[in-house]
Amino acid sequence: MTSGLTGGVLDPSTLVATFGLIGLLVALFVETGLLIGFFLPGDSLLFTAGVLVAQSDPFVPLWVILVSAPIAAVLGDQCGYLIGRAAGPAVLDRPGAKRLGPAQLARAQSFFGTYGARTVVLARFVPVIRTLAPVMAGASSMRYRTFLVYNVIGAVVWGAGVPMLGYLLGGIPFVRNHIEIILIAVVALSILPIAINYLRSRSRARRTTPRHGHRPDPDTSSAARH
């Protein structure tokens, strides 16, 4: 979560008010395109941008955010993918990745192990994981076309959907103050059926796999054939 880092200069309202549209787009690109961008509050920035364009004197029209934010997010993920593809698995040993700590890296790897390419979409809504997802996709040699499709889907849903939520719901204090928790809860609910399916299939696979030590006795099998 980025909430502890969003005070002062990293406060979403301050960032958007100070740097405007260009600052917003650069932050979105850096958060998903470079391993050093994990501290940026992408969800809060997008939501705040939606709230601000709903005011009587918006800094840009809503449609500009809805078009430009997904483009910045797509380009950021493309950059992260290419970095991972060029560096390979060793990219996770670099200083930028090490700053995240082993727990966050393990969490991202678990996401990929469970959801595969769908992680590129789901990770958009989970802070830190969205920074690691494109790099890990490239490092694991995910097919470029597959990555691009999921990247565009995730960028459009996240980059346009979150500011739209801010535009429509920004006047509700609870929503405004807990946007990151709400988004993570939505993702958790959406992947719950996938997780249940995955666990069930693993359980079935275990039951149908013959256990070691219970092989048929060769003498008994031979006698049965005669």
Read off the DSSP letter of residue 8: G
Q: What is the mean pLDDT of residues 72-91?
A: 88
Distance CA 21, CA 139 (A): 31
Distance CA 45, CA 160 (A): 12
- In the numeric block, the tokens 């996770």 are attached to 92
Nearest to 134 by CA among 153, 142, 126: 142
In this predicted model, which residue has the larger pLDDT, 27 or 171? Answer: 27
Distance CA 211, CA 150 (A): 39
221 exposed, middle or buried (CB, 10 Å; 0-12, 13-18, 19+)? exposed
Distance CA 146, CA 69 (A): 21
| Range with top average pLDDT, 4-8, 25-29, 59-63, 67-71 | 67-71
Q: pLDDT exceeding 90 applies to what percent of the chain?
A: 26
- In the numeric block, the tokens 């989970």 are attached to 126
At 4, the pLDDT band (50, 70, 90 cuts) reads: very low
In this predicted model, which residue has the larger pLDDT, 29 or 226? Answer: 29
Least confident segment among 89-98, 112-121, 142-151, 176-185: 89-98
The per-residue pLDDT for 159 is: 95
Q: What is the mean pLDDT of residues 86-95?
A: 70
Residue boundaries of the structural domains of the chain: 3-207
In this predicted model, which residue has the larger pLDDT, 134 or 201? Answer: 134
User: Per-residue pLDDT tens for 37-65?
Assistant: 677 778 888 988 998 888 878 889 999 99
Say if CB 155 and CB 25 are below 8 A apart: no
Alpha helix stretches (DSSP H) within the chain: 12-33, 42-53, 62-87, 95-98, 102-115, 119-122, 129-139, 144-169, 173-177, 179-208, 218-225
Task: Retrieve residue 101's tokens.
Answer: 């700590």
The per-residue pLDDT for 224 is: 47
Q: What is the mean pLDDT of residues 63-70?
A: 97
Q: How many CB atoms lie within 10 A of CB 79?
A: 18
34 exposed, middle or buried (CB, 10 Å; 0-12, 13-18, 19+)? middle
In this predicted model, which residue has the larger pLDDT, 195 or 173? Answer: 173
The per-residue pLDDT for 5 is: 39
Task: Retrieve residue 207's tokens.
Answer: 């039951």
Task: Retrieve residue 13's tokens.
Answer: 């309202």
